[in-house]
Structure 1
Amino acid sequence: MKVLVVDYGMGNLRSVAKAVERVAPHAQVVVSDQAQALRDADRVIIPGQGAMHDCMREFMARGLHDALLKVAAEKPFLGICVGMQMLFDHSEEGDTPGLGILPGRVRRFPADMFDAAGVPLKVPHMGWNEVLPVKPHPLWQGIAEQGTAGERFYFVHSYYCDPADQAAVAARTVYGLPFTCAVAQANIAAIQFHPEKSAAAGLRLLANFIDWQP
């Protein structure tokens, strides 16, 4: 099996690749910015870290757009953090068009959020938070089930995804407001949190992605 971690000049590529190598020692893990590598891969991961407009600029400059659209229609695909946000139509961060693979928008957290005790919440949302699955999916195997207490994962973000199609929502998290932290549709899955920074639960999720047969 060949697993591609897409290199578009942004994000924590090596950390994601190392985490995948750990959970899938049988797989060939490749980090590449070549469109042909996307076509040749059996599974594709787009990690993300940084500003949406910078990520999209670098992604388009490498000529990855058409190859990714084809891959996203055919192969198991995982977007992480900004790699999730890029899938949607538009982001408020820099007024940036996304790839339009999933309908919806990426919105900024309000500046005036408070926790249950009335304490102001900082933006970005940074640290460990509970992920609550809202529908069954192989990604959650051995982690958490729908309707049960969620596992905690590590987040770093100031913007959140607001899908137009609620059927695509796979999990939510609460930070001042409930927001979509995972989507799943056909062969596409995407998560706002960082599995490579989320200890055992994050490694289990990556292992589940490797085993997933959409």
Structure 2
Amino acid sequence: MTSVAIIDYGMGNLRSVAKAIEHVAPGHEVFVTSDPARVAAAERVVFPGQGAMPDCMRELDARGLRPAVRAAAAEKPFLGICIGQQMLFQHSAEGDVPGLGILSGEVVRFPETGMFAADGSRLKVPHMGWNEVRQCGPHPMWDGIPDGERFYFVHSYFVVPAEASLTAAETDYGVRFTSAVARANIFAAQFHPEKSAAAGLRLLANFIRWQP
């Protein structure tokens, strides 16, 4: 039985993430926690989040979870979701705040102007809804997921990795942006697998099986 900790730092409804993982991991221990000791004891860690980057970083530190997140990202299968992906990087333009610095790169906002779809229609920010995710290469987390599969997004900011090798997938929304990153035991996505129907459930099931 695998134990999976979903880190709760007070930002976002985490029950949908927990329910989705419980669905694909029957018989495994899945729990939501803000206890650094429980995060440290878990075999796998999920780091989700919703809201503004400054609030997320503040609440993470208020609960004393920064060391636990850094330790988990260094040594065990680790899945970042949405803001949980952005917080892994060095700096965010949202509020001009530093992130955790686990991965090299920046978090930037979609352009204010000049955002158009292929048919010429103007694109709105935030990017909200289903969009194609183009895989940049093979990875165990993509097992059974076709290249170009659609996932669900809700965001105004996205990561710009300093190293091209970090990018695991890209998506087009006015600009081409990194929609998933991977390095060693870390996989993180801008989209929400828990809201992405069968493809999202497959990604979560792959995370339960993944042996970095």
Instruction: State the TM-score bracket (shorter-chain normalisation).
Output: over 0.9
The residue type equivalent to 1:204 in the other structure is R
Q: Give the equivalent residue in structure 1 for 2:179.
A: 181
Distance in 2 (CA, whole Å) between partners of 1:12 and 1:78 is 17
Q: How does 1:14-25 map to 2 (within 5 A)?
A: 14-25=15-26
Question: Are 1:86 and 1:99, in contact at CA under 8 Å, matched by a contact in 2?
Answer: yes
Q: How does 1:35-46 map to 2 (within 5 A)?
A: 35-46=36-47
Structure 2 gaps of 5+ residues are none
Structure 1 gaps of 5+ residues are none
Q: Give the equivalent residue in structure 1 for 2:144.
A: 142
Question: Are 1:103 and 1:164, in contact at CA under 8 Å, matched by a contact in 2?
Answer: yes
Q: CA deviation at 1:210?
A: 0.5
Distance in 1 (CA, whole Å) between partners of 2:65 and 2:88 is 13
* TM-score for the superposition, normalised by structure 1: 0.97
Q: Give the equivalent residue in structure 1 for 2:192.
A: 194
Question: Are 1:12 and 1:47, in contact at CA under 8 Å, matched by a contact in 2?
Answer: no
The residue type equivalent to 2:129 in the other structure is G
The residue type equivalent to 2:168 in the other structure is A
Distance in 1 (CA, whole Å) between partners of 2:12 and 2:208 is 20
Distance in 1 (CA, whole Å) between partners of 2:82 and 2:36 is 21
Q: Give the equivalent residue in structure 2 for 1:204.
A: 202
Q: CA deviation at 1:17?
A: 0.3
Q: How does 1:48-197 map to 2 (within 5 A)?
A: 48-112=49-113, 113-145=115-147, 150-197=148-195
Runs of 4+ in 1 over 4 A off after TM superposition: none
* TM-score for the superposition, normalised by structure 2: 0.98
Superimposed CA distance per residue, residues 181-214 of structure 1 (whole angstroms, 9 cap, x where no aligned partner): 0001000000000001000000000000010000
Q: CA deviation at 1:26?
A: 1.8
Count of residues in Structure 1 that have an aligned counterpart in Structure 2: 210
Distance in 1 (CA, whole Å) between partners of 2:12 and 2:78 is 17
Query: Cα RMSD between the aligned structures?
Result: 0.7
Identity fraction in percent? 66
Q: CA deviation at 1:12?
A: 2.5
The alignment partner of 2:133 has SS state of strand
Superimposed CA distance per residue, residues 164-186 of structure 1 (whole angstroms, 9 cap, x where no aligned partner): 01101100000001000000100
Q: CA deviation at 1:62?
A: 0.5
